[in-house]
């Protein structure tokens, strides 16, 4: 299983990201560090009109095209592999060590984002 996040930092307080799971289209686009998120889950997406679904897909494609950084987490057997922009940053079985690595990556907040766990 692979979770991939493509990210673009807009300024110190705002960013945009595109999320995909095993290569499938993302379902979440977010901006800001204050919890403002524009989201469309599968159930809500299926209830949308065809025009609204098309608009969401276009929005996802636009967000993906603007992204500058790519973060990827792959899980196989007992190993967690974390890559940033194609460079392997972590490959070990410890989720605690991985959490430290992730928490040290600059996020769209003023400076480094503190660990959220």
User: 41-86, pLDDT tens digit by residue?
Assistant: 555 666 778 887 777 677 666 766 666 777 777 777 778 888 877 7
Backbone angles phi, psi at 96, to 5 degrees: -65, -45
What does the block give as tokens for 114? 């503190």
Q: What angle do CA 47, 48, 53 make, to 5 degrees?
A: 130
Per-residue pLDDT averaged across 99-109, rounded?
63
3-class DSSP state of 29? strand
Alpha-carbon span 19 to 82, nearest angstrom: 15
Per-domain residue ranges of the chain: 2-112
What does the block give as tokens for 62? 């636009």
Per-residue pLDDT averaged across 5-33, rounded?
60
3-class DSSP state of 38? strand
Q: Rounded to whole angstroms, what are the CA distances from 113 to 5, 24, 29, 62, 73?
A: 16, 28, 19, 26, 19
pTM of the shown model: 0.42
Per-residue pLDDT averaged across 4-13, rounded?
67
């Amino acid at each position: 299983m692979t979770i991939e996040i493509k990210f673009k930092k807009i300024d110190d307080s705002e960013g945009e990201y595109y999320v995909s799971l095993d290569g499938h289209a993302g379902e979440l686009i977010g901006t800001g560090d204050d919890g403002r998120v524009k989201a469309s889950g599968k159930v809500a997406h299926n209830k949308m009109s065809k025009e609204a679904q098309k608009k969401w897909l276009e929005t996802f494609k636009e967000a993906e095209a603007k992204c500058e950084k790519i973060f990827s987490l792959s899980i196989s057997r007992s190993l967690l592999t974390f890559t940033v922009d194609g460079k392997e940053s972590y490959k070990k079985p410890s989720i605690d060590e991985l959490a430290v690595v992730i928490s040290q990556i600059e996020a769209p907040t003023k400076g480094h984002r503190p660990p959220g766990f």
